[in-house]
Chain A
Amino acid sequence: MSEVKDKIDYSSMPDERGHFGIYGGIFASETLMQALDELKEAYYNSINDKVFQAQFDFDLAHYVGRPSPLYHAERLSREVGGAQIYLKREDLNHTGAHKINNTIGQALLAKAMGKKRVIAETGAGQHGVATATVAARFGMECVVYMGAEDIVRQAPNVYRMKLLGATVVPVTSGSKTLKDALNEAMRDWVTNVDDTFYIIGTVAGPHPYPAMVRDFQAIIGREARRQMQEQTGRLPDALVACIGGGSNAIGLFHPFLADESVEMYGVEAAGDGLETGRHAAPLCAGKPGVLHGNRTYLMEDQDGQIIETHSVSAGLDYPGVGPEHAWLKDIGRVNYVAATDKEALNAFHQLTRVEGIIPALESSHAVAYGVKLAAQMSAGQNIIINLSGRGDKDINTIARIEGIEL
């Protein structure tokens, strides 16, 4: 007799207080509770508001440049010698990454709520640029918090933000990276909650952020699902995406969650290697805890202090991960794996050389695992790798690592 499994209704998650199983929720200071309530209400109204959705769709089409192509990387597939590799080209979006899907959505919401000032945290600088971009377009004041360490690693993006009229505030507390920028942005929001909208860049933070950012990013998966069927007549066999906070991954995965035949792989940053402890892979090697407003897997020590993460890619250098991923891990729907700095760098070169596409270091982690996975599959199978961003911003870092003076 076959086992009858209860179907999980993925679209019903999270519950009304933001829980994905035991994960998610709202773990915020009292000062923010009212603001989060207002945001939740504004967000759920917008979902059902045809005018809002039409504006969002219009901006995605005419400002961001969607749909982004689903590109069959034939030469790469041949070189790898396994499954057919398709790249979802989020790198071709305006500003060069998937981040803009979300910032457009949140900026429209900020406008609807009458907020005149937006703030953001950023790691690699992609979300900061995407926020500064929409702030420029909507005529809003914009302040971006960025770890002092990341400001050095991502100088070109810092300059772009300034050109766009944003104020970039260096954060020198803690490890001087993304998590500290998030702390600082949260502090700004607590202080200026009346007129300020906090545009969080990933599917983390207190409810409704993980659900809201997912819904704005799910355009990636909806398009990919349709494009794959148009190009191959069926669903893909596997999806691969990199995971820092996890917004590009959940954006690709979510519209496929109910398709049981589609395998999913979230690729975390293994840094120097999971066994060295110098990595940024909370799902692969962390444990559950509470940080930045939600319960999720974290990189933490035995006392519950958050520990420093290590990755060549600033955008993956985060000790937490979106709570929906934590839940999808526990229920076994998505496989969470990791790629080292070295593997990502190799993949960066491989894709650049073979397909003429320079991927972001973040996305290179997905490419690294994706080619490994494809090699174990048959030529009749298809996988989609989410190419979440372009690598122009990383060329200085790559050159430095490889001892090349520009």
Chain B
Amino acid sequence: MSRLKACFERLSAESRKALIPYVMTGDPQPEVTLPLMHAMVEAGANIIELGAPFSDPMADGPVIQAAAERSLEHHTSLHDVFAVAKKFREKDDQTPIVMMGYLNPVEIMGYESFARQAAENGIDGVITVDMPPEEAEDYIAALRAHQIDPIFLIAPTTTEERMQKIAAVASGFVYYVSLKGVTGAATLDVAGVVERVDLIRKYIDLPIGVGFGINNAETATSVSRCADAVVVGSAIVNRMAAQKDVKSGQTAIITRDVAELLKSMRVAMDAK
């Protein structure tokens, strides 16, 4: 069984919801990412979303773009993302890793080569922001051949017809982006989210993660009441940004803030 499937089944048996933090590989420094991943799991994260930086992240807001720019100062490539995943797997063979990025770095590498290396290095799922199902036939085939779940986004504007299209190709889970707009924008309309998640469940028989706009224990908890997973992105990256000048070797300082945020979310989500 895939790590993602096992993870959601385990949580479901315990009536708990998944907490999925997002972290940009190599932000603010290359050596931060690995200890941060372990610290996040210790703080209660169930799945790690590992960002691969892209120079032109159109679907992301200024917060994630700045993270990509910090990461790219160190020339972080897909090879570095793979290397971090591989290191992580030396100590943790259970927590699923989902890579999130844009298509062009994957195109340059080639779909087959990318899928093979991702699998070899312990990556379980891939979110490719600018790759809709319509263009993804070959890509999905390559990912599937290596047991990697193609994870797709669903937006507030996604029609029921498109939900069916996505249902036909997605696996692992689907990711509902709860706001129109880019990452890190505005506040969350929880009632609207509940309604949409119910609609998605009509068409898609996979766990549903909800992200965009979740920045504290309170929003995490209210979203976790309807969703199977809560994705926390910009709130974490903001904390990384605040620590960007921290000296290398002081990774504990950088990870402490993030771990505290996740712990507070974990406790609140489990208490309901």
Cβ-defined partner of B108 (8 Å) among A29, A194, A289, A293 = A289
CA distance A29 to B107 in the complex (A): 17
User: Considering only CB atoms, which chain A residue lies closest to B185 in the complex?
Assistant: A191
User: Considering only CB atoms, which chain A residue lies closest to B61 in the complex?
Assistant: A187
Nearest-neighbour CB distance to chain B for A295, whole angstroms, equals 8
B35 within 8 A of A: no
Known A173-B65, A289-B108, A303-B78; contact A27-B131, beta-carbon cutoff 8 A: yes
User: Is the beta-carbon distance between A303 and B77 smaller than 8 angstroms?
Assistant: yes
User: Is the beta-carbon distance between A174 and B109 smaller than 8 angstroms?
Assistant: no
Known A17-B134, A191-B185, A193-B180; contact A33-B158, beta-carbon cutoff 8 A: yes
A302 within 8 A of B: yes
Known A291-B56, A305-B54; contact A27-B182, beta-carbon cutoff 8 A: no
Chain B interface, >50% SS class: loop
**Chain A residues with Cβ under 8 A from B192's Cβ?**
none
The total of chain A residues at the interface (CB under 8 A) is 39
8 Å CB interface, A256-299 against B: 288-293, 295, 298
1/0 contact string of A152-183 vs chain B (CB within 8 Å): 00000000000000000000011000011001
8 Å CB interface, A349-402 against B: none
B157 within 8 A of A: yes
**Chain B residues with Cβ under 8 A from A291's Cβ?**
56, 104
User: Is the beta-carbon distance between A27 and B156 smaller than 8 angstroms?
Assistant: no
Known A173-B65, A190-B180; contact A26-B105, beta-carbon cutoff 8 A: no
User: Is the beta-carbon distance between B158 and A30 smaller than 8 angstroms?
Assistant: yes
User: Is the beta-carbon distance between A290 and B104 smaller than 8 angstroms?
Assistant: yes
User: Considering only CB atoms, which chain B residue lies closest to A17 in the complex?
Assistant: B134
**Chain B residues with Cβ under 8 A from A304's Cβ?**
54, 78, 104-109
Known A26-B135, A305-B55; contact A187-B182, beta-carbon cutoff 8 A: yes
**Chain B residues with Cβ under 8 A from A298's Cβ?**
104
A306 within 8 A of B: yes
B217 within 8 A of A: no
Counting residue pairs across A and B whose Cβ atoms lie within 8 Å, the total is 123
Cβ-defined partner of B107 (8 Å) among A173, A180, A187, A290 = A290
A34 within 8 A of B: yes
Among listed B26-34, B147-155, B227-235, B236-244, interface-contacting one: B147-155
**Chain A residues with Cβ under 8 A from B135's Cβ?**
17, 25-27
**Chain B residues with Cβ under 8 A from A113's Cβ?**
none
User: Considering only CB atoms, which chain B residue lies closest to A302 in the complex?
Assistant: B108
Nearest-neighbour CB distance to chain A for B112, whole angstroms, equals 16
A28 within 8 A of B: yes
Nearest-neighbour CB distance to chain A for B138, whole angstroms, equals 11
User: Is the beta-carbon distance between B77 and A30 smaller than 8 angstroms?
Assistant: no
1/0 contact string of A221-242 vs chain B (CB within 8 Å): 0000000000000000000000
User: Is the beta-carbon distance between B130 and A31 smaller than 8 angstroms?
Assistant: no
User: Is the beta-carbon distance between A187 and B58 smaller than 8 angstroms?
Assistant: yes
Find the residue from A288, A290, A307 having the highest chain B CB count within 10 A.
A290
User: Is the beta-carbon distance between A173 and B105 smaller than 8 angstroms?
Assistant: no
B62 within 8 A of A: yes
Nearest-neighbour CB distance to chain B for A298, whole angstroms, equals 7
User: Is the beta-carbon distance between B108 and A27 smaller than 8 angstroms?
Assistant: no
**Chain A residues with Cβ under 8 A from B66's Cβ?**
173
A76 within 8 A of B: no
Nearest-neighbour CB distance to chain B for A70, whole angstroms, equals 38
Nearest-neighbour CB distance to chain A for B77, whole angstroms, equals 4
B126 within 8 A of A: no
User: Is the beta-carbon distance between A190 and B153 smaller than 8 angstroms?
Assistant: no
User: Considering only CB atoms, which chain A residue lies closest to B60 in the complex?
Assistant: A187
User: Is the beta-carbon distance between B180 and A191 smaller than 8 angstroms?
Assistant: yes
Find the residue from A180, A290, A304, A307 having the highest chain B CB count within 10 A.
A304
User: Is the beta-carbon distance between B105 and A190 smaller than 8 angstroms?
Assistant: no
A215 within 8 A of B: no
User: Is the beta-carbon distance between B132 and A289 smaller than 8 angstroms?
Assistant: no
1/0 contact string of A1-33 vs chain B (CB within 8 Å): 000000000000000010000000111111111
A186 within 8 A of B: yes
Known A173-B65, A293-B130; contact A31-B75, beta-carbon cutoff 8 A: no
Closest 6 CB pairs of A and B: A304-B105, A304-B108, A191-B181, A29-B59, A31-B155, A303-B77
> A: which residues have CB within 8 A of B?
17, 25-35, 173-174, 179-180, 183, 186-187, 190-194, 288-293, 295, 298, 300, 302-307
Can you list 14 pairs linking A and B with CB atoms under 8 Å apart? A30-B132, A31-B59, A31-B153, A32-B157, A33-B158, A34-B157, A34-B162, A173-B66, A173-B69, A187-B58, A290-B103, A303-B108, A304-B104, A304-B106
Q: A190-B180, A303-B105 are in contact. List 10 more A-B contacts (CB 8 A).
A: A27-B103, A27-B130, A30-B177, A31-B153, A31-B156, A34-B159, A173-B62, A187-B58, A194-B180, A304-B78
